[in-house]
Amino acid sequence: MRTYLVTGGAGFIGSNYIHYMFRKYGNSIRIINVDCLTYAGNLENLKSVEDRENYTFINANICDSEAIGKIFAENEIDRVVHFAAESHVDRSIKDPEIFVKTNVLGTLVMLNAAKAAWELEDGSFKADKKFLHVSTDEVYGSLEEEGTFFYETTPLDPHSPYSASKASSDMLVKSYIDTYHFPANITNCSNNYGPYQFPEKLIPLIINNALQGNKLPVYGDGKNVRDWLYVDDHAKAIDMVQEKGRIGERYNIGGHNEKQNIDIIHIILRTLQEMLSEDDPRRKNVREDLITYVEDRKGHDRRYAIAPDKIKEEIGWYPETMFEEGIKKTIAWFFENEEWMKHVTSGDYQKYYEDMYGGK
Ligand code: NAD
Ligand code: TYD
């Protein structure tokens, strides 16, 4: 039985990935989820898997080399899927240090622990061991012109402390591939959306605020473009890269779904109106006049767009979920999981929101 070590599995993409993997492989794999449960880590995301015999949660920090080394010493790990990171650009602008600690040093700890466990005396590696580093398209910087795309060969040109820390971790992984022939892949994915996404990110924030009749903050002119991918498609891509990708290669993952932020907000408002029943009291809250232009994000990248050609040609992956379908599934999930939203938006989140948006 193949054993996966998933870092950051209590976060948004990590928990969706764990659900995807159990749906796909059932009891034929084992997953160990290592997460130190920051504000973004939530074990509620994993309630339906926590009793499985082939699932284990370990509360540990990826910067703690002793704790991570112990996990490798006590388990024969076959796959590492490394999600754990600080992931929010706005937070990185306010407090970059934790981004460097977790994203850079934490990745180094993961690489060293896997290398120590998998390396043989002659410097080669045990057969069929693989490390996948989950990264972002933001490492490539910003595209100004329409019709241009990020390719795997696009030079790294990060602008925010978040993307700089992710680019640094990509480079560390690359250095292990180049220096030690360490069996790793890097994936650079565009913006994800879907169930369990923390409402500091655009899509869940807009859904949550609109349902409550709160202002919908738009940074700058609202015309920044992101390429949105439904999270299950990302989970599938990660699995396919790990099983079918060429070792040592980088693969871009994207939705072929570029949209301006303001258009995303209009689509969400329209979809909420369609999906809420006539007598639902939240219906009257969902209004266009909630849209509020606020101060722009510092260093705000204008446009991201991924060319997922290599992953399609080599591996056969392509984005399956159309945005209209994905956003309906996402909204339906938020309707069904009001308690989840209540829990994550209490406490620390309220303070974050007040600091970030001035209590609006
Ligand atoms: P998230 O913020 O929702 O989750 C991060 C998880 O990592 C949380 O469970 C948190 O508790 C855990 N974590 C943080 N620091 C840790 C530490 N020091 N030790 C152990 N666990 C720690 O993030 P996400 O949106 O799910 O993103 C996951 C990964 O995917 C990140 O590496 C991110 O850079 C990358 N990514 C995200 C997107 C996106 O749109 N969200 C797009 C492309 C790539
Ligand atoms: P975000 O979800 O934070 O993802 P990222 O910055 O990693 O792409 O933001 C997506 C886009 O939405 C980005 O251009 C910033 C913008 N945005 C707003 O306009 N208002 C908001 O309240 C947030 C959180 C983001």
- Ligand 2 centroid–CA 235 distance in Å is 22
The residue nearest atom 23 of ligand 2, judged by CA position, is 202
d(CA 175, CA 73): 24
Q: 58: which strand partners?
A: 34
d(CA 91, CA 312): 33
Catalytic residues: 137-138, 162
Whole-number percent of the chain with pLDDT over 70: 99
The residue nearest atom 35 of ligand 1, judged by CA position, is 135
CB of residue 199 inside a 6 A radius of ligand 1:
no
d(CA 248, CA 184): 5
CB of residue 204 inside a 6 A radius of ligand 1:
no
- Mean pLDDT computed over every residue of the chain: 97
For residues 230-246, give the mean pLDDT: 98
Q: What is the CA radius of gyration of the chain?
A: 20
Q: How many other CB atoms sit within 10 Å of the CB of residue 226? A: 23
d(CA 314, CA 301): 30
**Nearest bound ligand to the CA of residue 137:** 1
- Ligand 1 centroid–CA 12 distance in Å is 7
The residue nearest atom 44 of ligand 1, judged by CA position, is 136
Least-confidence region, from 32-36, 189-193, 326-330, 347-351:
347-351
Please check the confidence at residue 302 and state whether its pLDDT lies above 70: yes
Q: How many other CB atoms sit within 10 Å of the CB of residue 55? A: 20
- Ligand 1 centroid–CA 11 distance in Å is 6
Question: % helix / strand / coil in the chain, to the nearest 5?
Answer: 50, 15, 35
For the CA of 304, the nearest atom of ligand 2 = 8
Please check the confidence at residue 177 and state whether its pLDDT lies above 70: yes
pLDDT at 360: 56
Pocket-testing residue among 83, 188, 193, ligand 1, by greatest number of atoms within 8 A of Cβ: 83
Pocket-testing residue among 5, 6, 7, 12, ligand 1, by greatest number of atoms within 8 A of Cβ: 12
Please check the confidence at residue 24 and state whether its pLDDT lies above 80: yes
pLDDT at 347: 77
pLDDT at 231: 98
* Per-residue confidence band for 346, with pLDDT thresholds at 50, 70 and 90: confident
pLDDT in tens, 130-160: 999 999 999 999 998 889 999 999 999 999 9
Question: 248: Cβ–Cβ under 8 A, 6 or more apart, which residues?
Answer: 177, 181, 183, 184, 185
Please check the confidence at residue 203 and state whether its pLDDT lies above 70: yes
For the CA of 253, the nearest atom of ligand 1 = 43
Mapped onto helix, strand or coil, the DSSP state of residue 198 is coil
For the CA of 301, the nearest atom of ligand 2 = 14
CB of residue 12 inside a 6 A radius of ligand 1:
yes
The answer to whether 60 and 67 are in contact (CB under 8 A) is: yes
pLDDT at 135: 98
pLDDT in tens, 268-297: 999 999 999 999 999 999 999 999 999 999
- Ligand 1 centroid–CA 280 distance in Å is 34
For residues 208-224, give the mean pLDDT: 97
* Per-residue confidence band for 122, with pLDDT thresholds at 50, 70 and 90: very high
Ligand 2 neighbours (beta carbon < 6 A) = 89, 191, 201-202, 205, 217-219, 224, 226, 261, 297
pLDDT at 359: 59
d(CA 73, CA 246): 27
CB of residue 85 inside a 6 A radius of ligand 1:
yes
Output the CA–CA distances (angstroms, integers) from residue 262 to 217, 226, 297, 303, 345, in the order listed: 10, 11, 15, 13, 24
Please check the confidence at residue 216 and state whether its pLDDT lies above 70: yes
pLDDT in tens, 49-72: 999 999 999 999 999 999 999 999
d(CA 252, CA 188): 5
The residue nearest atom 21 of ligand 2, judged by CA position, is 202
